[in-house]
Amino acid sequence: MVFRDDILAGKVAFVTGGGSGICRGIAEALMKHGANVAIAGRKAERLEATARELETSTGKRCLATPCDVREPTEVEAALDRTLAEFGRLDIVVNGAAGNFLAPASQLSYNGFRTVMAIDALGTFNVCRAAFDRYLRDHGGVILNISATLHYTATPLQIHASAAKAAIDSMTKSFALEWGRLGIRVNGIAPGPIEGTEGMSRLAPGDVAEKHRASVPIGRYGRIDEIANVAVFMASDAASLLHGTTVVADGGAWLTGTPLEW
Ligand code: NAP
Ligand code: COA
């Protein structure tokens, strides 16, 4: 472990998207550093299975709180369950997202709306409900999972690029309005991460092989590397980070090399 294993002792985190991939890795890392965690997603069965696995691997408690982040009432219920179970809420990670490759000319109205709704509206819904229920009175940390798609322009991903740009904007707005209440708001923008649903959707087959070689560090990132960034940013070591989105991509976006075009 890179950090002392008790730096998040006594904390409670709510992690959307925590049933799989990068955010499962973040949930596990927060637990390994002392936090109890609630994980949220739509698939209740997978969430339950993940929760039991994370409890076994970390010795901390993990609560499965199924919800669709597009539905404010479901989000509110999931947060209420988290607070009823753990009695506090210190860290909120917004990782729930959807993505697929589609040319703008063929993307349906509903396809665009769906990704905007999960990523952007979902992030607002969770932040807003967590603020009302706990953060306004106690402070805390919000981490919004973004991407680097919109730093340049990424082909076939107008939906996800727009959604992540909206998330980065909200990270700054929330930071501006909520900083004095002791709520620290930041984002993490991962580059391509090995072994994730995201990359299997966006870089099938030999596309990844060619793209990987273009990354300045010569490889894609790993889930545990993003999880370490999240642990740092959730901890007091990051007390001066506010309203910023940290890029963790091995320099990938600097080259502007798209996956395929
Ligand atoms: P993933 O495993 O598919 O994670 C997405 C999660 O979001 C799933 O657990 C999914 O659970 C949940 N989710 C989707 N729609 C939801 C909804 N409406 N309500 C609640 N939960 C919902 O993908 P990943 O690749 O690890 O990506 C995780 C995060 O990292 C995303 O924010 C993604 O944009 C970002 N990211 C990933 C990469 C990468 O290389 N993979 C790069 C840059 C950024 P359910 O299906 O159960 O709802
Ligand atoms: N290409 C083009 N359009 C697509 C698509 C694809 N691969 N997948 C879905 N869509 C469109 C659908 O056709 C639909 O539009 P329509 O009603 O005009 O036909 C719209 O998107 C919504 O699809 P639906 O399957 O009803 O949405 P959902 O809410 O059940 O699922 C998704 C959301 C589409 C994002 C789904 O892929 C998902 O659940 N993803 C979560 C996992 C993920 O994406 N991980 C990577 C994170 S980076």
pLDDT score, position 261 = 64
- Return the residue whose CA atom lies nearest to atom 39 of ligand 2: 98
- Tens digit of pLDDT for each residue in 99-155? 999 999 999 999 999 999 999 999 999 999 999 999 999 999 999 999 999 999 999
- Hey, where are the domains in the chain? 12-247
In three-state secondary structure terms, 142 is strand
Cα–Cα distance, 209 to 218 (Å, whole number) = 11
The closest residue, in CA terms, to atom 29 on ligand 1 is 95
| C-alpha 142 – ligand 1 centre gap (Å) | 17
Out of 110, 115, 199, mutate this one to test ligand 2's pocket (max ligand atoms within 8 Å of CB): namely 110
Residue pair 186/234 in contact (Cβ under 8 Å)? The answer is no
Token pair 């740009």 is at which residue?
Answer: 165
DSSP 185-212: EEEEEE--BTT-HHHHHHS-THHHHHHH
Ligand 2 center–CA 112 separation, angstroms: 9
pTM: 0.99
12-247 folds as Rossmann fold (3.40.50)
Q: At residue 204, does pLDDT exceed 90?
A: no
Whether the pLDDT of residue 176 is over 70: the answer is yes
Q: How far apart are CA 236 and CA 161, in angstroms?
A: 31
Distance from the alpha carbon of residue 255 to the mean position of ligand 1, in angstroms = 25
Which residues are near ligand 1 (CB < 6 Å)?
16-17, 19-23, 40-43, 46, 68-70, 95-99, 118, 145, 147, 190, 192-193, 196-199
Ligand 2 neighbour 202 (Cβ under 6 A): no
pLDDT in tens, 104-118: 999 999 999 999 999
Rounded Cα gap, residues 140 and 126, in angstroms: 14
CA of 44 to the centre of ligand 1 (A): 15
